[in-house]
Chains A and B, each alone.
Chain A
Amino acid sequence: MSQFLVKEGVKNQIRKGEKLVTTHCCYCGMQCGMHIRVDEKNNKVVGVEPRYDWVLTRGKMCPKGVTAYQTIDHPDRIKRPLIKKNGKFVESSWDEALDLIEKKYKELQGTYGKDSIGVYGGVSMTNEKCYLVGKYARVGLGTRYVDYNGRYCMSSAAGGFNKTLGMDRGSTLPWTELEHTDTFFMAGTNTAECHPTSIQWFWKAKDKGAKLIVADPRETATARVADVHLDLLPGTDSALANGIMHLLIKHDYVDHEYVQERCNNFEELKEMTAKFTPEYTSKITGVAVEKIIKAAHIFGKSPRSVVMFARGAEQQTKGVDNVSLYTSMALLRGQIGKFASGVATFTGQGNGQGGREHGQKADALPGYRKLANPKDVEYVAGVWGIKPEEMPKEGVSAYEMFHLMQSKQIRALHVICSNPVVSSPNINYVKDSLEKLDFLVVNDFFLSETAELADVVLPATTWAEDEGTTTNIEGRVIRIRKVVDPIGESKPDWEIIKLITDRMGKANFFPYNEPREIFDELRIASKGGKADYFGVTYEKIDEQDGVFWPAPAEDHNGTPHVFKERFATEDGKANLAVCDWREPGEVPDTQYPLWLTTGRVVFHYLSGNQTRRVGFLMEQCPEPFVEMHPELASQYQIENGERVKISTPRGEMVAPVKITKAIRKDTLFVPYHWGKELSINQLTSPALDPISRMPEFKVCAVKLEKLTK
């Protein structure tokens, strides 16, 4: 016998003996609304039910979302702390594990100083936990070395937005407006596979006649339905954007009034883009001249357009340039701050937006305050109850922390909610760096490839066993609800941090009993900063279906659409980007003649630590593959499904070939969700963007070899 949950005219099925807990998915930045089905008698999660009343996704879920609940009670869950003894993990009590951590931390800091311990966070956690990671490092351990896996994910977008608009909110508009947009310009994003539930908004607009322009080396599921597919060479986005802007200026598609009133650098930009004629742009990007011209005309004529990009454009040594240039395209058309128009980046990780605002970046404090700014330091030190001079200085970016492990400046590392041995570039070096550590602690709920290297693994909880807030792809702060109690002896990361800081004699700085208390402190710590969460409360989130930051006062309902009147720069004007095209960190030569680019498949999430354990998802895509064009395959006499070896100076791997016309003839594509010998990140380049310190995952030169039988 079924019962029903009726809310705002939509019905959900509730089966007998079950309750539905309303929450959001744990994976990408879409943070789809969902109900988790719980068997009331046993208090166990038994399934999932769509949530039709959630404004952004209306019951939609991708295969990862549908199966997300299967990780909660998964047999691989780590249920007790693990300590490595004689090379093997042995289960221990919490006390034993914490004793060991306390002893090692104190020993190392006593001998080598406070900075000998590093903290490596992640952004698949709630805002509360992300905030606490920064405070844990700086107050709990007193170390300057803290950074997070968002460095590989969002830092170029953040750098580009800050440079151009003065503030990094991933989307300048609420996505519920997207159905009224006339043109979408998407660069380096396969949103159909990476954020599947976003696609409904684009196609809703397409049904009304909207146009879609996609810049991607592959004809992805997103590019397949585009009106213009700009199949550019990996690493040439900045040339493409300059080329489009050249045509916008040439054909006078520029909103002169807007540019005059609200933007700086127009003349400089005009001068810079002068040389980016369609022919010159085509020479660099490999995109046909007529396609560039067609795209520029469509984009230039649209009354409402949104420019969007993701890791394809951002994970480059010029990721910040690319973001700034694409953003400038929207500025030239006067689109930012208007209805159904603007600019947005697709957030890869669940809390990629909120997680980068609250101070786990090497150079940042909560609310996007800066360690380099004495006033910011003074304010946050005041909230935390320490003296400003006690605040550690800036550290280094995620990948650069591994250099410091090699040189023994960092001797212990605490990895929280991250799997850098799969997600970093050049992972053979990363693994070697972690092995050089004196002591490695990892919080995780599955034994990830990184956790396997640890001295102590602390059992953390899945998203469903704790509560808190995350900030979705639009900048909307939403609530994650606790569905069941933690499995076994696992504990939420915030509780683990609290236990360790207690041991380090800092208990009075971490007096929390529940996530809400942490959030209230975060609200104060962010007050007056760029990412101002002061007006966001749990109650308001429930009332309003989420609250968009900034919300600077308690009676403020949030800001869905930013930059309506002024930008967040000092003079209130946006800075148009004036950036020339630069070559990628590595280009093909005779030894490594092809381009390699990496990305996702729809069935897996990040390093695959969770999704590789879910039966349905593994059935669909059990191993990585090398995607190549039929002409390239025939040149190397390779057949579909044949295993080939690919290599760069950093490593090599063997994988089966998938032959498809949906990729450039000179480029190989491999998804990155697997570890060890199946990891493409053995090959990827660690060259960094000079500003964001984002590695160049998306471009390197590679050699392809047919395996002899």
Chain B
Amino acid sequence: MNKIMYLEFERCIGCRACQAACRECGDHDAKERNYVEYVDFTESRQTFPMLCMQCKDPACARVCPANAIQITDEGVVLSAMEEKCIGCRNCTFGCPFGIPKFDFETNKMYKCDMCYDRTRHDIAPMCASVCPSDAIRFIDFDEMQQLRRKRTQMNLVEGKKPQEGNKWDYVPEFFGVYTDS
């Protein structure tokens, strides 16, 4: 896998197709592992997708006393291993992004695993596949770099920049999650 997940928040239309699609992934047991939030519904319709950042040094794995959270060679942070997870929920408290969730029925944690059964074959994760507005993309590192440069240029052309007092008008427009390949 030589690709990264690239999020462009401004494109998010809040349709939650990514969440519906996440449920469709092979071993996700019809539970979504990503989220879409409103920045503030009363102010604007701006929404943003929330995925696992696949941190290089993931807090969830660091705080796991049972070493149940594995990181693949490609850098994908997996859900807790069933045989190791002791159900302590440390990971859910440890993650600064609130990504790991706890399934009280099966007594184990589950989280976005970047659709590892797809991405390791270079097939886009379900969320990035279906995202109608390309707010979530599964692209090459170089493409990501180009997009970031282009977005910055476009913002300059359009005169967009954050100003004091209009925090809701400006939303971070991209966030690249990438791993060493």
Cβ–Cβ contact A192 & B123, under 8 A: no
Cβ–Cβ contact A225 & B24, under 8 A: no
Cβ–Cβ contact B134 & A662, under 8 A: no
Q: Is A55 an interface residue (CB 8 A)?
A: no
Q: Is A375 an interface residue (CB 8 A)?
A: no
Q: Is B140 an interface residue (CB 8 A)?
A: no
Q: Residue on A with the closest CB to B158?
A: A227
**Interface positions of A from 218 to 242, Cβ below 8 Å from B:** 219-222, 224-225
Q: Is A659 an interface residue (CB 8 A)?
A: yes
Partner of B11, one of A2, A203, A661: A203
In the bound assembly, the distance between CA atoms of A48 and B24 in angstroms comes to 7
Q: A62-B17, A193-B15, A199-B132 are in contact. Are A220 and B45 (CB under 8 A)?
A: yes
Q: Mark B126-147, 1 if CB is under 8 A from A, else 0.
A: 1001111110000000000000
Q: Is A12 an interface residue (CB 8 A)?
A: yes
Q: Is B33 an interface residue (CB 8 A)?
A: no
Cβ–Cβ contact A65 & B41, under 8 A: no
Partner of B132, one of A11, A196, A662: A196
In the bound assembly, the distance between CA atoms of A483 and B97 in angstroms comes to 41
Cβ–Cβ contact B45 & A4, under 8 A: no
In the bound assembly, the distance between CA atoms of A325 and B117 in angstroms comes to 52
Q: Mark A28-65, 1 if CB is under 8 A from B, else 0.
A: 00000000000000000001111010000001111101
Q: A48-B24, A66-B20 are in contact. Are A203 and B133 (CB under 8 A)?
A: yes
Q: Is B44 an interface residue (CB 8 A)?
A: yes
Cβ–Cβ contact A616 & B23, under 8 A: yes
Cβ–Cβ contact A63 & B19, under 8 A: yes
Cβ–Cβ contact A67 & B45, under 8 A: no
In the bound assembly, the distance between CA atoms of A222 and B44 in angstroms comes to 12
Partner of A200, one of B46, B123, B129, B132: B132
Q: Is B122 an interface residue (CB 8 A)?
A: yes
Cβ–Cβ contact B130 & A66, under 8 A: yes
Cβ–Cβ contact B154 & A193, under 8 A: no
In the bound assembly, the distance between CA atoms of A221 and B15 in angstroms comes to 10
- Taking CB atoms, residues of chain A closer than 8 Å to B42 are 630, 640, 659-661
Q: A12-B123, A50-B130, A661-B44 are in contact. Are A196 and B15 (CB under 8 A)?
A: yes
Q: A13-B121, A13-B123 are in contact. Are A196 and B134 (CB under 8 A)?
A: no
In the bound assembly, the distance between CA atoms of A42 and B80 in angstroms comes to 32
- Taking CB atoms, residues of chain A closer than 8 Å to B162 are none
Q: Is A579 an interface residue (CB 8 A)?
A: no
Q: Mark B89-130, 1 if CB is under 8 A from A, else 0.
A: 000000000000000000000000000011001111010011
Q: Is A15 an interface residue (CB 8 A)?
A: yes
Cβ–Cβ contact B121 & A66, under 8 A: no
Interface size on A, residues (CB 8 A): 48
Q: How far in angstroms is the closest Cβ of chain B from A72? A: 15
Cβ–Cβ contact A62 & B132, under 8 A: yes
Q: Is A197 an interface residue (CB 8 A)?
A: yes
Q: How far in angstroms is the closest Cβ of chain B from A616? A: 5
**Interface positions of A from 9 to 23, Cβ below 8 Å from B:** 11-13, 15
- Taking CB atoms, residues of chain B closer than 8 Å to A193 are 13, 15
Cβ–Cβ contact A219 & B45, under 8 A: yes
Q: Is A570 an interface residue (CB 8 A)?
A: no
Q: Is B176 an interface residue (CB 8 A)?
A: no
Partner of B13, one of A66, A196, A603: A196
In the bound assembly, the distance between CA atoms of A12 and B24 in angstroms comes to 14
Cβ–Cβ contact A197 & B45, under 8 A: no
Q: Is A632 an interface residue (CB 8 A)?
A: no
Q: A15-B26, A200-B132, A661-B44 are in contact. Are A63 and B123 (CB under 8 A)?
A: no
Q: A11-B122, A13-B118 are in contact. Are A63 and B17 (CB under 8 A)?
A: yes
In the bound assembly, the distance between CA atoms of A219 and B23 in angstroms comes to 30
Q: How far in angstroms is the closest Cβ of chain B from A661? A: 6
In the bound assembly, the distance between CA atoms of A48 and B33 in angstroms comes to 18
Cβ–Cβ contact A47 & B24, under 8 A: yes
Partner of B130, one of A59, A225, A659, A661: A59
Interface size on B, residues (CB 8 A): 36
- Taking CB atoms, residues of chain B closer than 8 Å to A578 are none
Q: A15-B26, A661-B42 are in contact. Are A620 and B134 (CB under 8 A)?
A: no
Q: Is A568 an interface residue (CB 8 A)?
A: no
- Taking CB atoms, residues of chain B closer than 8 Å to A220 are 45
Q: Is B10 an interface residue (CB 8 A)?
A: yes
Q: Residue on B with the closest CB to A34?
A: B130
Q: Is B21 an interface residue (CB 8 A)?
A: yes
Cβ–Cβ contact B133 & A200, under 8 A: yes
Cβ–Cβ contact A221 & B13, under 8 A: yes
Q: How far in angstroms is the closest Cβ of chain B from A100? A: 41
- Taking CB atoms, residues of chain B closer than 8 Å to A52 are 129
Q: How far in angstroms is the closest Cβ of chain B from A427? A: 28
In the bound assembly, the distance between CA atoms of A558 and B134 in angstroms comes to 30
Q: Residue on B with the closest CB to A191?
A: B13
Q: How far in angstroms is the closest Cβ of chain A from B21? A: 5
- Taking CB atoms, residues of chain A closer than 8 Å to B10 are 225
- Taking CB atoms, residues of chain A closer than 8 Å to B44 are 219, 224, 661-662
- Taking CB atoms, residues of chain A closer than 8 Å to B87 are none
Q: How far in angstroms is the closest Cβ of chain B from A50? A: 4
Q: Is B3 an interface residue (CB 8 A)?
A: no
- Taking CB atoms, residues of chain A closer than 8 Å to B15 are 62-63, 192-193, 196, 602
Q: Residue on A with the closest CB to B16?
A: A63
- Taking CB atoms, residues of chain B closer than 8 Å to A65 are 17, 130
Q: Is B14 an interface residue (CB 8 A)?
A: yes
Q: Residue on A with the closest CB to B115?
A: A13
Q: Residue on A with the closest CB to B151?
A: A207
Q: Is A658 an interface residue (CB 8 A)?
A: yes
In the bound assembly, the distance between CA atoms of A630 and B40 in angstroms comes to 13
Q: Is B73 an interface residue (CB 8 A)?
A: no
Q: How far in angstroms is the closest Cβ of chain A from B28? A: 11
Partner of B21, one of A66, A630, A658: A66
- Taking CB atoms, residues of chain B closer than 8 Å to A50 are 124, 126, 129-130
In the bound assembly, the distance between CA atoms of A609 and B168 in angstroms comes to 37
Q: A61-B21, A661-B42 are in contact. Are A207 and B121 (CB under 8 A)?
A: no
- Taking CB atoms, residues of chain B closer than 8 Å to A2 are 117, 121
In the bound assembly, the distance between CA atoms of A617 and B121 in angstroms comes to 30
**Interface positions of B from 140 to 172, Cβ below 8 Å from A:** 150, 154, 157
Q: A221-B13, A225-B10 are in contact. Are A60 and B130 (CB under 8 A)?
A: yes
- Jot down 13 A-B pairs with beta carbons below 8 A, ordered by A: A12-B123, A192-B15, A196-B15, A198-B132, A199-B13, A207-B150, A209-B154, A219-B44, A221-B14, A221-B45, A224-B46, A602-B14, A662-B44
Task: List residues of chain B with CB under 8 Å of any chain A CB.
Answer: 10-11, 13-17, 19-21, 23-24, 26, 41-47, 117-118, 121-124, 126, 129-134, 150, 154, 157
Question: What 3 pairs between A and B have smallest CB-CB spacing?
Answer: A196-B132, A192-B13, A66-B20
Known: A66-B20, A220-B45, A616-B20. 13 other contacts (CB 8 A): A47-B24, A59-B124, A196-B15, A198-B132, A200-B133, A200-B134, A207-B154, A221-B14, A602-B14, A602-B16, A630-B42, A658-B41, A660-B43
